[in-house]
Structure formats: C-alpha cells, structure tokens
Chains A and B, each alone.
Chain A
Amino acid sequence: QSVLTQPPSASGTPGQRVTISCSGSTSNVGGNYVFWYQQFPGSAPKLLISRDDQRPSGVPDRFSGSKSGASASLAISGLRSEDEADYYCATWHGSLWVFGGGTKLTVL
C-alpha cells in the first residue's frame, strides 16, 4: 500500500482531456517535487513530468503537471491511442523515494 494514492484506472476517447490524480500528504506531495512517469507494457518507465510541472525535452506539450497542497495531477489533452499506458507519480517521503500505485490509462 503506497503512501501516494492514484486511481487504478482512467479512460478517455481520442481528443479528450483526461486527468490522473496523485494524493498524498504534507510529508510527501505537499512538501516535495512530484514527478510523473509513463510506462508501456514490457518497457522501462520514462520520465514525463519533472518537478511538479516541467516537461523534459521531447515530451509533447499535451502532457502537463500541476500540484495543489498535498495533491498532484497529470493532465493529458488531445488524447491519442498511443497514450495508452501506465502512469506513476513519485516523490520523496522522508528519505524514501516513493511511487504511487499507478494508473492504467485506456483510450477507448
């Protein structure tokens, strides 16, 4: 059971905007940067959002991150079929780097 709570699943149709939440506490999300990772089946995770809301080079601007208090969100606009993947939030919890349980995004 992770200290970061994500919905196990999310879905949307092509072109839609979907958001994935990551809920924590002042000990983790509320006091540290949040990172988001994208993982396709059988592949390694890839950093999608750094430091709450920064996109690494090469990440489309359809992906955006935000944070308010002890909750963070990943938004994907203009949803595409190739966005179907697992998404994980992560941050520090004390001296431990923790991941959320992951959200499986399905594009209908």
Chain B
Amino acid sequence: QVQLVQSGAEVKKPGASMKISCKASGNSFSSYSLNWVYQAPGQSLEWMGWIIGRNGDTRYSEKFQGRVTITWDASAGTTSLELRSLSSEDTGVYYCTLRDGYIFFRVDIWGPGTKVTVSS
C-alpha cells in the first residue's frame, strides 16, 4: 500500500524560496512519476510538474517554469519541490502525487498536502 507523507506547513516572506518534501513508502510500481499539484485557497487544482522515478527526467508547467525545481532521491524515496521568488499568489496547499506511469497511468495516489503561506 503506497503512502505519501508530506513535510509540515511553512510560512515564507515574499521573495523567499520554499522547499517542501514528500516521502513515498510501499511503492512497488516499476514505472512511476512523482507529480506536484498546487491549490490556491478556494480554487481549483493546478499541475506544476513531474519527475520520472526511473530516470529523473522532469517536465514543468509553463506557468512555473524557471521558478520551480522537482527532485527525487530514490534512496530516500523522497521527492522535493523547490519554488523560488515567492509572492502572495503562491499561498495555498501543495500536493504530491504518485502515478504508476507518467503520460499513461491508472493509479494516482495523493499526499495529504503541505500548506504554504506567503506573507510579509
């Protein structure tokens, strides 16, 4: 049974960077991707990007390209999301998800989310 445990809530100042993590346990998929999804307060979901577990290839949404880095430490089973040049518009909840594939998948397991507040 795959479980995702995300790091705790953070408060950041505008202009700062954040780095949050997500540890996956019980993953037995031979092919998988770790994805990050953002949800602003009261809003819909927004995919930020993925990293492919097998080879570390990444793909980012154009909206976050240049400000975001997703990494995967296979030995620790942990993915991290770094987002730079934070503004109040980055306030919200960040979810990691584990899929049994990248473009084609059937399973999409979500972590509980990490709340990030950007405020001066």
Contacts and interface: CB of A to CB of B under 8 A. Distances in A.
Interface residues of A, number: 24
Q: Is the interface of A mostly helix, strand, loop or mixed?
A: strand
Contacts, number: 46
A57 B109 CA distance: 12
Nearest to B48: A97
Contacts of A43: 112
A92 B45 contact: no
Given A45-B95, A51-B106, A88-B45, A96 B111 contact: no
A44 B112 contact: yes
A2 B61 CA distance: 14
Contacts of B103: 92
A24 interface: no
A45 B4 CA distance: 13
B110 A99 contact: no
Nearest to A50: B106
Nearest to B113: A44
9 contacts: A37-B45, A44-B112, A45-B37, A47-B110, A50-B106, A95-B59, A96-B47, A100-B44, A101-B44
